[in-house]
Amino acid sequence: SYELTQPPSVSVSPGQTASITCSGDKLGNKFVCWYQKKPGQSPVLVIYQDTTRPSGIPERFSGFNSGNTATLTISGTQAMDEADYYCQAWDSSPYVFGTGTKLTVL
Amino acid sequence: QVQLVESGGGLVKPGGSLRLSCEASGFAFRDYYMSWIRQAPGQGLEWVSYISSSSTFIYYADSVKGRFTISRDNANNSLYLQMNSLRADDTAVYYCARDQKYSGNDYWGQGTLVTVSS
């Protein structure tokens, strides 16, 4: 079965740029979405189709996907961005979620 | 506004059954694919099942195939998940989500907790 691998944790200082990667075989050939998940809350879609931000998502969130790696970038990271982030791709399953990354803003 | 409200969660013994419901409002439910996605305590998100708008296409994760059944009632704007032969590792918060396929799950319910324990 298809697997998506993310780093377990990423740390960033407020105002700096955070990058979270998602790796999978030929991932660049698939559409990737990214979700933000805070404790006790439902997931929020922050990027879809590799690079597109849904309405209401701040411009500091951006995405890129090429080769075997997709990347979520948060520019000017704020304390409110501290959360778990999950990538998602469509495969034969049809869906697969990444292993998740805990973003710490300190 | 779009709303998804799950219900039906609770405590069930291993081997037991439970039926989850998701009531949708604020959009044309019959026009959208829908998914069930779960998160076990301390674990990541796991996609469970997916159903097309007219129920023509249905998919399941390998972990639930043969035990869970997804269905929908477009006349009543409702999505269901029948869960049989439940196991301890099915313990999770179950979310229903509107599915835009390649554009992701853009709306999620608040989740309903299923606990499988003796």
- Using the beta-carbon criterion (under 8 Å), do A35 and B105 form an inter-chain contact? yes
Q: Does A43 touch chain B (CB under 8 A)?
A: yes
- Using the beta-carbon criterion (under 8 Å), do A94 and B50 form an inter-chain contact? yes
Q: What is the pLDDT of residues A5-27, one digit of tens each?
A: 999 999 999 999 999 999 999 99
For residue A45, the chain B residue with the least C-alpha distance is B106
Mean pLDDT, chain B cut into blocks of 10 residues (118 residues total): 97 98 97 97 96 95 96 98 98 97 92 97
For residue B105, the chain A residue with the least C-alpha distance is A45
The pLDDT value recorded for residue A49 is 95
Q: Which residues from B are below 8 Å from A96, CB to CB?
A: 47
Percent of chain A at pLDDT > 90 equals: 92
- Residue A28: pLDDT band (50, 70, 90) is very high
Exposed/middle/buried for residue A80 (C-beta within 10 Å: 0-12, 13-18, 19+)? exposed
Q: Does A1 touch chain B (CB under 8 A)?
A: yes
CA A31 to chain B, closest CA, distance in angstroms equals: 6
What is chain A's mean pLDDT, rounded? 95
The pLDDT value recorded for residue B108 is 98
- Using the beta-carbon criterion (under 8 Å), do A96 and B100 form an inter-chain contact? no
- Residue A83: pLDDT band (50, 70, 90) is very high
Interface test with B, best of A9, A29, A35, A45 (most B CBs within 10 A): A45
The pLDDT value recorded for residue A32 is 95
Query: Is residue A70's pLDDT more than 80?
Result: yes
CA distances from A60 to A15, A28, A37, A51 (A): 11, 22, 17, 12
SS (H, E, C) chain A: CCCCECCCEEEECCCCCEEEEEECCCHHHCCEEEEEECCCCCCEEEEECCCECCCCCCCCEEEEEECCEEEEEECCCCHHHCEEEEEEEECCCCEEECCCEEEEEC
CA B14 to chain A, closest CA, distance in angstroms equals: 26
CA B49 to chain A, closest CA, distance in angstroms equals: 9
For residue B109, the chain A residue with the least C-alpha distance is A42
The pLDDT value recorded for residue A56 is 95
Q: Which residues from B are below 8 Å from A95, CB to CB?
A: 35, 47, 50
For residue A8, the chain B residue with the least C-alpha distance is B44
